Structure 1
Amino acid sequence: MSYQELTHHISKNLKHMHKESPDLMQSFHSLSQNALKAGVLDPKTKEFIALAIGVANRCDGCIGFHTKALVKLGTSFEELTEVLGVAVLMGGGPSLMFAANAVEAFHEFTALQQPTE
């Protein structure tokens, strides 16, 4: 499954959770919005932190959503690989495997940002 398909699939399933647990989902949405908004740290830096934690915790859904956000924020591949290096440092060999997945997600979401001819 591609990261575009994965994030779409997760989003679809989260709609079911929102229907059954609206208070929980609204609380999580509010937490996410507040945690990622500009403050002393800019949103891009916060997304880098979230991606690194997602890689270290081996969460493909986290990789998909945070990489997608980083592409929208104009992240370069060089920036991404530096962040992934820190994630691998903190998570060891298994995180290296998920860092490779984040590279795949980056290329996929970057391609979606390219204008079509």
Structure 2
Amino acid sequence: MGTTSYPELTEGISKQIGQLRKGIPDTMKGFSAMAQGATANAALDEKTKELIAMGIAIALRCDGCIGFHTKTLVRLGATRQEFEEMLGVAIYMGGGPSLMYAAQALDAWEQFGGQ
């Protein structure tokens, strides 16, 4: 579909994040702690929280976020139906621009081997 390789995109961003961990370690430790706290299983499970994060990634039009959250959703065993229903809500809430990014997110899903 698209020209973006989400596995390559996330790999490249991960390398740069590694550099940021060296250059601004306190900031990155704080961000990691926030991410762990926000995604920990509680009233909502991790997969549900990742589906929410993915909807936000689409609404904010963040290619890197789409890549990382899609990869995580595949790892967590999200189904294609769950993924597509989340895309539907994102499109509903964001209109045409979200439709474009939802299509890209579906491409990322397929690239990461989502079933």
Shorter-chain-normalised TM-score: which range? Answer: over 0.9
- Within the candidate set 27, 30, 35, 1:27 is matched to 30
After the TM superposition, which residues 1-117 of structure 1 pair with which residues of structure 2 at under 5 Å, given as runs? 1-110=4-113
Aligned partners of 1:52 and 1:84 also within 8 Å = yes
CA distance in 2, matches of 1:38, 1:14: 25
Amino acid of the structure 2 residue aligned with 1:104: D
Runs of 4+ in 1 over 4 A off after TM superposition: none
Deviations 1:62-85 (A, max 9, x none): 100000000011111111010011
8 A contact 1:54–1:63 mirrored in 2: yes
Cα RMSD for the two superposed structures: 1.2
Distance (Å, rounded) in 2 between the aligned partners of 1:78 and 1:95: 18
The percent of aligned pairs where both chains have the same amino acid is 54
Bigger relative contact order, structure 1 or 2 (CA pairs below 8 A, ≥6 apart):
2
- If the length of structure 2 is used for normalisation, what is the TM-score? 0.94
Unaligned runs of 5+ in 2: none
SS of the aligned residue for 2:112 comes to helix
Give SS of 1:84's match.
helix
Residues in 2 aligned to 1:52 and 1:40: alpha-carbon distance in whole angstroms: 19
Distance 2:32 2:106 in 1: 26
Mind listing any 5+ residue stretches in structure 1 that lack a counterpart?
Answer: none
- Write the distance in 1 (CA, Å) between the matches of 2:99 and 2:53: 16
Aligned residues: 112
- Rounded to whole Å, the distance in 2 between the matches of 1:88 and 1:57 is 12
Looking at structure 1, the residues matched to 29 and 87 of structure 2 have their Cα atoms a distance apart, in angstroms, of: 30
| Distance in 2, Cα, partners of 1:89 & 1:13 | 33
